[in-house]
Structure 1
């Protein structure tokens, strides 16, 4: 299965010059734990970074820095790891494991932002697949009972 079937196209984005306070406000307003930092390219966006709630705690709050005085550009680290919308789920899982990340911006063939995928999205997918598999033995018994009736 391809990533485009699992990723979330509703991505919260900010610009490099947005303050950390503004980004934290966006996280609260939209109930998300990450904001994709993106540059506009025409009518589309190209992801250049990702800021998580954990980044804000570790890089700003724990260092007793003022979130009003810092911008996204000040705390994004690189290089940004992205997934391609055409990637297989297995590849994305492997990439997340290799890079030790919980969220990945998803880009199209031109490198423009398409969506975001989180560990939670993949867990929901895996759980639904396991539920489908767990129904196989019950289905087999039901079919056997029907054939023998």
Structure 2
């Protein structure tokens, strides 16, 4: 079974629970990411997404300089062990209805992040290979 060891993007954008929503949004913009993993001792304790900031802070009329990551984060985020199979991770993402999961090592420390987009890209490449095989074995199209 193929595991997710090669999937995680190694540079995880992380912050502490007392980081303000304004600072989180700025970091997301600077880093070009849609989520920030909230860590304590390098272990994920939460995750904040751009949607969390939009819905909870902006639409909620909150002051982004006083709301913290702890106020809006999803606690105890779904994580993926590096040895987990891709379909196991996809199932966990589906069950939790999440698009991003921190990848953790044997000590539970964040070593990367796996996203829905990573899987779409993988399956797209694999489907292209299948299409090439099918075309090679089929009569030519006119």
- TM superposition score normalised by structure 2: 0.91
SS state at 1:50 partner: strand
Radius of gyration: which is bigger? 1
Question: Could you tell me how far apart the structure 2 residues matched to 1:27 and 1:97 are?
Answer: 24
Structure number with higher helix proportion: 1
Structure 1 residue 65 corresponds to structure 2 residue 68? no
Contact kept, 8 Å, 1:34 with 1:50, in 2: the verdict is: yes
Question: Could you tell me how far apart the structure 2 residues matched to 1:139 and 1:2 are?
Answer: 30
Post-superposition CA distance 1:24-80 (Å, at most 9, x none):
00000011110111112xxxx111110000000111111101010011111113232
Q: CA deviation at 1:139?
A: 3.5
CA root-mean-square deviation: 1.4
- Paired position in structure 1 for 2:25: 24
Runs of 4 or more, structure 1, over 2 Å off, are 137-142
Question: Could you tell me how far apart the structure 2 residues matched to 1:24 and 1:75 are?
Answer: 12
Structure 1 residue 56 corresponds to structure 2 residue 57? no
* Structure 2 unmatched runs, 5+: none
- Paired position in structure 2 for 1:4: 5
